[in-house]
Amino acid sequence: MLEKRSHNISDKLLEKIISVAYGDSGWMVKFIINRKAKRNPEVRELLDEYKLTANSVHRLKQSEVPESVMHLVRVKTNVKSENNFWSSVYIRFLSKPILSTAVAGVMIIAIASVLLFNQPKPQHKYTEAQIELAEKQFKESLAIVGRVFSNTEKEFDEEILNNQINKSLGKGFYLINDILIGG
């Protein structure tokens, strides 16, 4: 790592640079650090140095890491052992952001599909009396609608057609007769 570092870079900024280099930061922090790296050559140099180190660390396989280093990491991070199945699955697969996002997406889709397609069907059980009452009410409502339509038709025929339209037509015929015949 870099032993000599400028006094202009704070510890907090250095932690963010390291997390960006190792791919542990969010997109907002990456954006901020990359922007600072474009403006400040010291930040750019640190970021490039840590990215090179991160790439070499990521290329290491677990079998290539000495057991003494693994023991020190376990002691410093308070991890009891890595021999169980789920921790090895996490280390090999889910520690990568793309795979963990894909696994989370599959789980969300599975849960949503179970909730959508496995809904119980509502069961409506009606008694014969309820069905007969509903049929009677339906017939009564149709009879009311039929009476309203027949009353409306009568009013339309009597009032609107006879009074309004026939009067207007009659006046129009008289006016045309007066114009054409002249009197």
* For residues 77-106, average pLDDT: 68
The residue whose two tokens read 């520690």 is 95
Buried b (16+ CB within 10 A) or exposed e, 40-59: beebbebbeebbeebeeeee
The C-alpha atoms of residue 183 and residue 174 are separated, in whole angstroms, by 10
Output 62-65 pairs: Cβ under 8 A, ≥24 positions apart: 62/91
Report pLDDT digits (tens) over 132-161: 999 999 999 999 998 998 888 888 777 776
Looking at per-residue pLDDT, the higher value among 173 and 128 belongs to 128
Distance CA 108, CA 100 (A): 12
More confident residue, 7 or 17: 17
25: phi > 0 → left, psi -120 to 50 → alpha, else beta; which?
beta
pTM over 0.75: no
Q: Which residue has the tokens 């600072």?
A: 36
> Is the pLDDT reported for residue 3 higher than 60?
no
Give percent of the chain above pLDDT 90: 23
More confident: 65 or 27: 27
109 or 23: which leads in pLDDT: 109
The band of 49, judged by pLDDT with boundaries at 50, 70 and 90, is very high
Contact at 8 Å (CB) between 51 and 18? Answer: no
Model pLDDT, residue 72: 77
pLDDT given at position 150: 87
Q: What local confidence, expressed as pLDDT, does residue 2 receive? A: 46
